[in-house]
């Protein structure tokens, strides 16, 4: 004899749970499709970021989390390198002297290139 729900319809709990799971799965799939379309519209330039975020927020979907990659170039003026035997040694010392740090935990980087271009100063006569 099937279990009778509190509404008296004769539907058992297992069947209701199965229907609920089906609806949840369909809703999650709908959310994935909507989010994918919002991302597509945003990244193809059709929708601005605030509008895209508003749509996702209205539907209870996760916001767009932007990430960026690229290069940062830093120019440092070397004002003096003392006691270098030659140009290569001076450049090597400059290159080895630099180390990069970052105070923002949300930025990850690898220091992969340090170049040095130096100019020999005129020699002072004693």
pLDDT of the chain, 126 residues: tens digit per residue? 455 455 555 568 889 999 999 999 999 999 999 999 999 998 898 899 999 999 999 999 999 988 888 888 888 899 889 989 999 999 999 988 888 888 999 988 888 888 888 888 777 665
On whether the pTM is more than 0.85, the answer is no
Cα–Cα distance between 24 and 102 in angstroms, integer?
43
Q: Are 4 and 13 in contact (CB under 8 A)?
A: no
What is the secondary structure of 7-18 as a DSSP string?
TSS---HHHHHH
């Amino acid at each position: 004899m099937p279990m009778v729900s509190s509404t008296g319809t004769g539907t058992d709990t297992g069947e209701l749970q199965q229907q609920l799971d089906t609806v949840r799965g369909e809703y999650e799939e709908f959310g994935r499709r909507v989010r994918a379309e919002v991302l597509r519209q945003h990244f193809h330039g059709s929708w601005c970021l605030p509008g895209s975020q508003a749509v996702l927020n209205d539907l209870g979907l996760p916001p767009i989390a932007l990430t960026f990659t690229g290069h940062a170039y830093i120019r440092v003026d070397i004002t003096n390198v003392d006691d270098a035997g030659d140009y290569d040694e001076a450049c090597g010392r400059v290159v080895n002297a630099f180390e990069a740090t970052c105070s923002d935990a949300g930025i990850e980087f690898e220091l992969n290139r340090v170049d040095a271009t130096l100019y020999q100063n005129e020699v002072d006569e004693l």
